[in-house]
Chains A and B, each alone.
Chain A
Amino acid sequence: MFDIVMRISLLILAVSTLMYFYRLVKGPTVPDRVVALDAIGINLIGMTAVISVVLKTNSFLEVILLLGILAFIGTVAFSKFLEKGEIIENDRNQ
């Protein structure tokens, strides 16, 4: 029963990632695509967690924290690029 519930949750998460992927391809503006990519990263965290329960191993749990950090840094870099045109400003060069 527990195993079936895990597989159903994995299927639900996969379908949800597919719907985000539709928004990533079609999305009319750039922030739409960034929102979809961020949400795909969040979904990937959940899929990693469920897969580590299905495989009964705790070796993948570091990946969860790593994916969270990477998704956040990617979104911050994209929003800085959209807003200011550059990601790392260097004021001393002026």
Chain B
Amino acid sequence: MIEISKAISGYLILQGAVLCFIASIGVLRLPDVYTRNHAASKGATLGVMSLLLGVFLYFLMVEGHFNSRVLLGIAFVFLTSPVAGHLIMRAAYNTKVPLWENSVQNDLKKKNAGDPERTSHPRIRDK
């Protein structure tokens, strides 16, 4: 039983580490900031969630210690990491960081064309 638990949590931890590594390869090699954030926020979030699940199962089944903080950490990373990625990419777009030159679609550009007073909150502007 102990060996099976160790095998399961070891697999989850190794999978999480490899996912974090793949995310960092994406951050290193992708062409512009939006695609880099696409790699970093998705890959690193899923990787660290899998890793923390493995650690939680290790402490639960091998050491017999139920640690609720790791579960809270999983929930918190799952909630906040995509939000942080969204915020920093919105800031990047509003400070006019250029897209990759081979990008074919930019929906926000068409929507905001001919509007010099473009703000970051279109809903406030409509009032």
Q: Chain A residues in contact with chain B, CB under 8 A?
A: 1-2, 5-6, 8-10, 12-13, 15-17, 19-20, 22-23, 29-32, 34-36, 38-39, 42-43, 45-46, 49-50, 52-53, 56, 58, 61-62, 64-65, 68-69, 71-72, 75-76, 78-80, 82-83
Contacts and interface: CB of A to CB of B under 8 A. Distances in A.
Q: Is the interface of A mostly helix, strand, loop or mixed?
A: helix
Contacts of B36: 23, 32, 35
Contacts, number: 166
12 contacts: A9-B16, A10-B17, A15-B21, A35-B36, A39-B23, A46-B47, A46-B52, A52-B55, A58-B67, A61-B70, A64-B70, A72-B80
A56 to B, nearest CB: 7
Contacts of A68: 73, 76-77, 80
Counting chain B residues whose Cβ lies within 8 A of the other chain, the interface size class is: 35 or more
A23 B28 contact: yes
Interface of B: 6-7, 10, 13-14, 16-18, 20-21, 23-25, 27-28, 33, 36-37, 40-41, 44-45, 47-48, 51-52, 55, 58-59, 63, 65, 67, 69-70, 72-73, 76-77, 80-81, 83-85, 87-92, 94-95, 97, 120
Contacts of A50: 13, 17, 51, 55
